[in-house]
Amino acid sequence: MNITPVDLRVIDQRAENVYEAITVAAKRARQINDENKIEFNAMLNTIPVSGSDDEAEDVTNPAQLKMALDFEKKAKPHLQALNELLEGEVKFKYKK
């Protein structure tokens, strides 16, 4: 897992101050996470359910496992939100 530092001066250029920019990125990350949950649940509903309802039986569904692994490979919501903020794709305004 690579850690990529982000220069706070670059973030500060996108908002009045760094804390404001981080708050905007955090709210966008929550939106992205909610969208991902909806997408994941919609895809999960398309997978056929196994024949047994026994909770004690530990059987994995290969289609469900593949889908979960594909979702794990996607960029994390906080990274997507920060990249959108740095690229100027996130627009925000103050409530009056």
SS3 27: helix
| Domain of 37, in residue numbers | 33-45+61-89
**What are the tens digits of pLDDT across the range 81-96?**
999 999 989 888 777 7
Q: Is residue 68 part of a domain?
A: yes
Q: Please report whether residue 8 resides in a domain.
A: no
Residue 39 lies in a domain: yes
Q: In the structure encoding, which two tokens stand for residue 60, read together?
A: 């994995």
Name the nearest CA neighbour of 78 among 10, 2, 24, 15.
Answer: 24
Q: Note whether residue 74 is domain-resident.
A: yes
Total number of domains in the chain? 1
Q: Are 22 and 86 in contact (CB under 8 A)?
A: no
pTM, to two decimals: 0.75
Answer whether residue 21 is part of any domain.
Answer: no
- 13-56 pLDDT per residue, tens: 888 888 888 999 999 999 999 999 999 888 888 877 665 555 55
- What's the confidence (pLDDT) of residue 38? 94
Q: Note the pLDDT of residue 84.
A: 93
With beta carbons less than 8 A apart as the criterion, state whether 86 and 7 touch: no
In a domain, 52, yes or no: no
The verdict on residue 26 lying in a domain is no
The residue among 87, 83, 40, 44 whose CA lies nearest residue 64 is 44
pLDDT at 16: 84
Q: How confident is the model at residue 2 (pLDDT cuts 50, 70, 90)?
A: confident
Any domain includes 41: yes
